[in-house]
Chains A and B, each alone.
Chain A
Amino acid sequence: MHRCAICQNNRAQVIRPKNGQKICKNCFLEVFELEVHTTIVENNIFPSRGERVAIGASGGKDSTVLAATLKALNERYDYGVEFVLLSIDEGIHGYRDDSLETVKRNAIQYEMELCIVGYDALYGWTMDKVVEKVGRKGNCTYCGVFRRQALDRGAKRLNISHILTGHNADDIAETVLMNLLRGDLPRLGRCAEIMTASLTSPMRRSKPLKYAYEKEIVLYAHYRELDYFSTECVYSPEAFRGNARSLLKELEKIRPSSVLDIVRSGEQLVHNAVSPVKLGCEDPKRNWREERMGLVNGSQTLSDEPVNPKLLPKIVHKTRNDATYQITVRSVQQPIPSVKLKFFIFFA
């Protein structure tokens, strides 16, 4: 039997992925909350007392753990903020209708106000209708853009200008990998930031669980016996993210610290700022993604982001089972040389 490395007393039940430390259940819960608190304090996530802050709540493990942890920390460390649960109803039958029931229970359990906004009311479209129209392709891309705006509009309705989301370290590492594989440098530079305020929106978004491993989140929810919803969205198995996710899970198995290493690498890329102007997007304020989706300027075209073709991933070797991509990441700060990254990918 292993003893807990922190209290030296109880049976160790958890190995922490970031450092291999073997600790007991109670010390794990304590250290998990303390780390989220440290993230909040170091990044000044709650700068002003009395602020009302929305928690993007899906009923899934991440947002449920976020709400539970924040409630505990707000009481323990007296941040003096008020949390509101903000849920989006994408209109996905057999998935979101069930998970919203979980959010309603969470609102009672955590004594938080709950606001639900639906795609149907906002856009006149539900995801079920979108899929009926466009088929089972790129569904998550539509849904993601819709949800981002829906959260903004829901928050505005509540007179709130700060939204917290449950993104964890694995999510961010996956996004860093995805943006690398797609050669999407403007987004690569933003996706690892803990707090974002876009040029086009006054809304602040923060990710307090940014340094928490998915594994730790699942363990936290299990040990705290949190009530969360855990069915995968009926439309997601086709998503590109699945590839990045499998790659990340394999990397984590080989070296558990890989996840945070990738998050840190993403942060470094922000420091070496690759500006959209340098990449050929002449107007950094233009929201290319939403334009592509036809959400702004009434444009219905699916024009591609004008990224310098030299910076797109190049396939250097490809067989039926695997491929090697080469991506050039160019730094705009002169002394730092451009970097070439090679990815070796197996197709499942």
Chain B
Amino acid sequence: MSADTIPITIELAGGLELLFDNEKKFNIDLPTKTKDGNAANINYLVDHLCVHHMKDTRRDMFEINGTVRAGILVLINDADWELEGEGEYELQPKDTILFVSTLHGG
């Protein structure tokens, strides 16, 4: 493990896995810092996932205005991201981030 990256686990559910080639769980090494030298936070992770891992072209199904689209629930280590500072939460090694879509389920 390089010191320049943080190992984290990504989980996708509620239909979002379809945007990621049907992968429901995978590990990634996220750069510790953004291009501007800021600590990697959830918003940065969302962009990173769109650029490096999303297999679908419909980026707006996942990301809108630099953060996760309204209606997608984010759990940081099984806790609501609202408790952790939402998009500003700075990722820690071994974090598990779950994205669940709350799609209209007919």
Contacts and interface: CB of A to CB of B under 8 A. Distances in A.
Q: Do A and B come from one complex?
A: yes
Interface of A: 2, 11-15, 22, 25, 58, 60-63, 170-171, 214-215, 217-219, 222, 228-233, 236, 241, 245-246, 249-250, 252-253
B39 interface: no
Contacts of A222: 13, 75, 98, 100
A253 B70 contact: yes
5 contacts: A15-B82, A58-B105, A60-B105, A60-B106, A246-B70
Contacts of A245: 71, 104
Which one of B73, B80, B83, B105 has the highest number of Cβ atoms from chain A below 10 Å of its Cβ? B105
A228 B104 contact: no
Contacts of A233: 106
Interface of B: 13-15, 18, 70-71, 73, 75, 78-80, 82-83, 98, 100-106
Given A11-B79, A14-B80, A219-B73, 16 more contacts: A13-B78, A14-B79, A14-B83, A15-B82, A60-B106, A61-B102, A63-B105, A214-B102, A215-B102, A222-B13, A230-B14, A230-B15, A230-B101, A230-B105, A246-B71, A252-B70
A13 B102 CA distance: 18
Contacts of B101: 230
Nearest to A223: B78
Contacts of A229: 105
Nearest to A59: B105
Q: What 3 A-B pairs come out closest when comparing CB atoms?
A: A60-B105, A249-B70, A13-B79
Contacts of A228: 105
B78 A250 contact: no
Contacts of B82: 15
Contacts of B105: 58, 60-63, 228-230
Nearest to B72: A249
B70 to A, nearest CB: 4
A98 to B, nearest CB: 12
A249 B106 CA distance: 18
Contacts of A2: 83
Given A12-B79, A22-B83, A249-B71, A231 B15 contact: yes
Contacts of B13: 222, 230
Contacts of B80: 13-15, 219
A222 B12 CA distance: 12
Nearest to A61: B105
Contact of A232 (B15, B70, B79): B15
A60 B102 CA distance: 11
A25 B78 contact: yes
Contact of A218 (B18, B79, B83, B102): B102
B46 to A, nearest CB: 15
A250 B101 CA distance: 15
B102 A232 contact: no
Contacts of A62: 105
Contacts of A170: 102
Contact of B103 (A15, A22, A232, A246): A232
Contacts of B14: 61, 218, 230
